[in-house]
Amino acid sequence: MGFPTAPMVTIAFKDLAKSNAASRGMPLERICFTPHPVWGKTDAEMYAYLEGNDPVSGKPLMKEVIDALTQPLTAEEQKTGSVEISTGPATYTDTAENLQQYYLDNGMTDFMQIVIPTEEKLAEMLKGTSHKPDEVVGRMSPARGSYPEWSFTVRQVAINAVMAGAKPEYLPTILAIAETGLTSLSSSTNSFATAAVINGPIRDKLNMNYGIGAMGPFAQSNAAIGRAWTMLSRNLSNSGVPGQTYLGTLGNGVNYNNLILPENEKDSPWTPLHVQKGFKAEENVVSVFVGFSISQGQGGIGLGVKPVPQYHEAIAYNCIPFGPLFGALIVCDPLVAQGLVELGYKTKEQLADWLQKNSLISAKNARSTLFANRWVPDATTPDDAMIPYYQRADSYNFVVIGGQTNPYHMVGNMSYRVSISIDKWA
């Protein structure tokens, strides 16, 4: 920035702060640490932090802050130049058992057994795409803007696909997911989850399950494609190093193989998601979402109304706990979608419009939410004014999936990010 700066971070993020500073070219940045947390502490408690010691150095905190701004720079702190970063040897040779342990011990797995990626298996996997192995697919980081972005090639994506147990025909879909640049292991303290909606004829070609138990472990393609996302996130972007590039305080079981949502297009009364996003129906597309995962929405207000369940009211009710950080991803069984059509919501857009206008929160409650300073319209809005959860109807996205054994829906506080063609990677 060009002026002396003293960054202050709580001790919970010590490793993150130091590694982040180093990766951005300031390995000796003068970072000052406070106890953790700051959020939720009283003014008196925070003032006591300032009067106390830096928990890392043990020295008086404010003296450290002042020294950070006034002590002359050392020669090391003024260094320029470029430092290459190694990601290890090109190959590893050992017994299968030892290799399993090697990949696990070196943070290259999801802590479950992998398929050892030999050159033979890699060559077989690469038959799944016409693209050259050394073609660059994209860039990814544990959190965009917060960490350096790694780049990666078709070959490197294919290696991770092998490790996840994928078949060669899954590779174009996995390449499309990789191209989104969205890690499935976000560094956030919130323990985010990711979802990939798959549309187009490829769902049947890969025998993807979009019927009974679609989100469960009942199809190799759903499972391996999802697992590959986490495998490649770990290895192609350095995501998922606890304390450094992964800070999710609780973690998230969804991260093992993510939410893979092949839309049940044949039983849906609505336009498929990829067509809503500008693709043709016959195209194969992956659309990715990120947020707080999804939870089941049965038992909500409106579902007990006779004689017709009021699904729209139930969805609105189940979205009440949502925070403003992300939009809404609504996953409906075809029975729910058909019920909504009978209630007058002929399109997903009509339902989104109703939800945007009728899902309201008081300004007072809005101001009390996390990151409220980012979204509350203005300070003059009265406390009792009711304002929409979301400013735009397209904050609501819908995916129809499931086997019609029960009119269930699930709601996720998750945002749409991008849609990528799978066909281009065939």
Residues 327-386 binding other proteins (CB under 8 A) are 370-371, 373-374
State the minimum distance, in angstroms, from the CB of residue 382 to other proteins.
22
Q: Which stretch binds other proteins (CB under 8 A): 86-94, 167-175, 257-265, 401-409?
A: 86-94
Applying CB under 8 A, among 57, 87, 101, 296 the residue interacting with other proteins is 87
The radius of gyration computed from the CA coordinates of the chain, to the nearest angstrom, equals: 24
Q: Are 412 and 321 in contact (CB under 8 A)?
A: no
Applying CB under 8 A, among 92, 256, 375, 408 the residue interacting with other proteins is 92
Residues between 129 and 168 that touch other proteins (CB under 8 A): 140, 143, 145-146, 148-153, 156, 159-160, 163
46 binds other proteins (CB under 8 A): yes
Q: Based on CB atoms, which residue is closest to other proteins, 160 or 397?
A: 160
Residues between 50 and 69 that touch other proteins (CB under 8 A): 50-51, 62, 65-66, 69
Q: Are 203 and 210 in contact (CB under 8 A)?
A: yes
**Distance from C-alpha of 177 to C-alpha of 64, rounded to nearest angstrom:** 45
Residues between 271 and 310 that touch other proteins (CB under 8 A): none
**Distance from C-alpha of 148 to C-alpha of 317, rounded to nearest angstrom:** 40
Could you write out the DSSP letters of every residue in 254-309? GGGT-EEEE--TTT-SS--HHHHTT--TTS-EEEEEEEEEEEE-TT-TTTT-SSS-
Q: Based on CB atoms, which residue is closest to other proteins, 159 or 196?
A: 159
260 binds other proteins (CB under 8 A): no
State the minimum distance, in angstroms, from the CB of residue 295 to other proteins.
23
**Distance from C-alpha of 401 to C-alpha of 198, rounded to nearest angstrom:** 11
Q: Based on CB atoms, which residue is closest to other proteins, 140 or 197?
A: 140
Closest to 235 (Cα-Cα) out of 154, 157, 126: 157
Q: Based on CB atoms, which residue is closest to other proteins, 42 or 280?
A: 42
Closest to 223 (Cα-Cα) out of 173, 263, 165, 288: 165
Q: Which stretch binds other proteins (CB under 8 A): 40-48, 191-199, 304-312, 333-341?
A: 40-48
88 binds other proteins (CB under 8 A): yes
Q: Based on CB atoms, which residue is closest to other proteins, 51 or 384?
A: 51
Applying CB under 8 A, among 58, 111, 119, 282 the residue interacting with other proteins is 119
State the minimum distance, in angstroms, from the CB of residue 101 to other proteins.
12
Residues between 381 and 420 that touch other proteins (CB under 8 A): none
194 binds other proteins (CB under 8 A): no
Q: Based on CB atoms, which residue is closest to other proteins, 135 or 204?
A: 135
Q: Based on CB atoms, which residue is closest to other proteins, 90 or 250?
A: 90
Q: Based on CB atoms, which residue is closest to other proteins, 157 or 254?
A: 157
| Tokens 């709601």, residue located | 411
State the minimum distance, in angstroms, from the CB of residue 24 to other proteins.
7
Q: State the virtual CA torsion across 398, 399, 401, 407 in degrees, nearest 10.
A: 0
State the minimum distance, in angstroms, from the CB of residue 330 to other proteins.
25
426 binds other proteins (CB under 8 A): no
State the minimum distance, in angstroms, from the CB of residue 369 to other proteins.
10
Going by DSSP bridges, is the β-strand pair 360-362/386-388 parallel, antiparallel, or unpaired? antiparallel
Q: Which residues pair with 287 in a beta bridge?
A: 197, 419
**Distance from C-alpha of 188 to C-alpha of 185, rounded to nearest angstrom:** 9
Bond into 35 cis (ω within 30): no
123 binds other proteins (CB under 8 A): no
Phi-psi region of 25 (alpha: psi -120 to 50; beta: other; left: phi over 0): left
Strands (E), 185-321: 193-199, 259-262, 285-296
117 binds other proteins (CB under 8 A): yes
Residues between 224 and 243 that touch other proteins (CB under 8 A): 231, 235-238
The pattern of x and - marking residues 7 through 36 that bind other proteins according to CB under 8 A reads xxxx-xx--------xxxxxxxxx---x-x
Token readout for 272 is 């498929």
Closest to 400 (Cα-Cα) out of 198, 202, 254: 198
Q: Based on CB atoms, which residue is closest to other proteins, 306 or 379?
A: 379
Number of residues that bind other proteins (CB under 8 A): 95
Q: Based on CB atoms, which residue is closest to other proteins, 91 or 380?
A: 91
Sign of CA dihedral 343, 349, 352, 358: negative
112 binds other proteins (CB under 8 A): no
Token readout for 205 is 């070609």
| Tokens 């759903």, residue located | 222
Q: Which residues pair with 140 in a beta bridge?
A: 150
